[in-house]
Amino acid sequence: MNENSRSFSVLFGDSLNKKVPVIQLADSTKMPDVILNGTDGFGNFARFPIDSNILSKHIMLLGGIGTGKTNAFFQIVNQLGGKLTDEDVMIIFDTKGDFYHEFYTPGDIVISNDSTATGSGELDYWNIFNEIEPGEHMLESVIEISKSLFAEQCKNTNQIFFPNAAKDIFMACVLHFMRSVPPQGRTNKALVHYINSTPTRQIKAMLASYDDLRAMTSYIDNEDSPQTQGVMSVLQQVIREVFIGNFSKVGTLSLRNLVRKKGGKKVFIEYDLSIGSMLSPVYSLMFDMAIKAALGRKRSAGNVYFITDEFRLLPNLEHIDDAVNFGRSLGIKFMIGIQNVEQIYECYGEERARSILSGFLTSFSFRVNDAKSREYIQQLYGKNQITESYLPINKSKGLIENQREANVVEDWEVSRLLIGQAVIGMPNTEPFVFRFSEYKSQKN
């Protein structure tokens, strides 16, 4: 039977609206931070606002390649970027260079592995030592940094001793620099040179010179043994893979300091497509340090925006849970892009991934092709009770009505979404269909 010969009415629960409902803002007397233009489910011009309160509950954009996520991102970032104050900072993890080319302005910071790298007005590079919290929290910071850089090595091995031991030796080398090397000598370049060129016996002697590091000498006790060679091999492999190109140079930049200084700047962390996932540990570390700095602020003045169009490329973030669930009062606002939910399950495990994603109370769900993501979208909006009315083939029997349980957003409704069209879910609002207008570049 033709679908058009049936009618549906919702008895209990929400329904998917074709018209854009009235969005309740925290303060209707203030201009919203963002106004998104497009068309509703009937193809008529429509728009809806997003204020700081909605942004503070975070936004997730879910959709396959080419479905319109970046276009929606651009509309939001363009409007937010033009309103940054000296109390704000925007961290953008840019996987394809699109955000840099569209939104970079002089004075912004770019951390990259190519010629676009720059500090605020002069050439500068990332410095791992400047991510370390000085004073009583120094050891804690060094342990956290080491854990992050070696996370993939520790996860993907059948011999956990070697990456764990290499991680500890790396931590000890960083601590040695913090304790014994003058600040101007603490650079990525110097650290790489030290680890790659210092004989094992001298590293062992360095460990033995500190009471709290002496026990690590057992990892490399005999420099000719397979154990020592295995530990040093893993250590040097991580150094070769992570500290390459611009990340092996002398610099002063750190996400910790950039978040604390704010200054209305955009900070672009540029993903190096030519190297791919090899630099993921350092990207994740930088993003995590920015989150930690935002969580550690003693006051909530201003906003810290975190923008990433490919969240799956930032695995092993330690502080993401706290940022999403407790960062609202500190001005933390996340916007993430996801191609499909299974990628996030793989990065974080399904249980933790679901917990993280549940903190994103606004969702733009574009068309997805995989069953898991369609199922996730259905579960996001839950069930309702509907009355289904239709005329049978034998019309003399009259109108037939059935009550049944249904999904607020059905599988086929997700599959039929057009390019640029999404199911919009916002706090205290029934979901609705919206097609974003095409973003017009602001560059000449």
Under 8 Å between Cβ of 83 and 33: yes
The pLDDT tens digits of the residues spanning 292-303 come to: 999 987 666 799
Q: How far is the C-alpha of 305 from the C-alpha of 330, rounded, in Å? A: 11
- Secondary structure of 179-229 in HEC code, one letter for each residue: HHCCHHHCCHHHHHHHHHHCCHHHHHHHHHCCCCCHHHHHHHCCCCCHHHH
- Structure confidence at residue 2 as a pLDDT band (50, 70, 90): very low
The pLDDT tens digits of the residues spanning 211-237 come to: 999 999 999 999 899 999 999 999 999
Under 8 Å between Cβ of 153 and 277: no
Under 8 Å between Cβ of 128 and 191: yes
Under 8 Å between Cβ of 390 and 364: no
| Range list of H helices, 265-401 | 280-295, 320-326, 341-348, 350-357, 371-381
- Of 392, 396, 417, 403, the C-alpha closest to 8 is 403
Edge-to-edge order in the sheet of strand 6-12: 6-12, 383-390, 400-407
pLDDT of 229 reads 96
Q: How far is the C-alpha of 259 from the C-alpha of 179, rounded, in Å? A: 25
In 3-state terms the chain splits into helix, strand, coil percentages (rounded to 5) of 45, 20, 35
- Is residue 173's pLDDT more than 60? yes
Helix axes 226-242, 161-180, angle to 10 degrees: 70
User: Mean per-residue pLDDT for 407-422?
Assistant: 96
pLDDT of 426 reads 96
User: Mean per-residue pLDDT for 350-373?
Assistant: 96
pTM to 2 decimals? 0.92
- Is residue 182's pLDDT more than 90? yes
User: Mean per-residue pLDDT for 17-28?
Assistant: 92
Whole-angstrom CA distances from 367 to 33, 77, 196 are 26, 22, 48
Whole-angstrom CA distances from 143 to 140, 166, 174, 326, 347 are 5, 13, 10, 23, 21
58 or 135, which is more confident: 58
- Of 281, 292, 289, the C-alpha closest to 314 is 281
Mean pLDDT, the chain, rounded, equals 93
- Is residue 121's pLDDT more than 90? no
Under 8 Å between Cβ of 49 and 34: yes
- Is residue 37's pLDDT more than 80? yes
Q: In the numeric block, which tokens belong to residue 187? A: 């650079």
- Is residue 33's pLDDT more than 80? yes
Residue spans of beta strands (DSSP E) within 123-169: none
- Is residue 3's pLDDT more than 60? no
User: Mean per-residue pLDDT for 86-112?
Assistant: 96
pLDDT of 397 reads 67
The pLDDT tens digits of the residues spanning 50-77 come to: 999 999 999 999 999 999 999 999 999 9
- Is residue 1's pLDDT more than 50? no
Q: In the numeric block, which tokens belong to residue 440? A: 């017009």
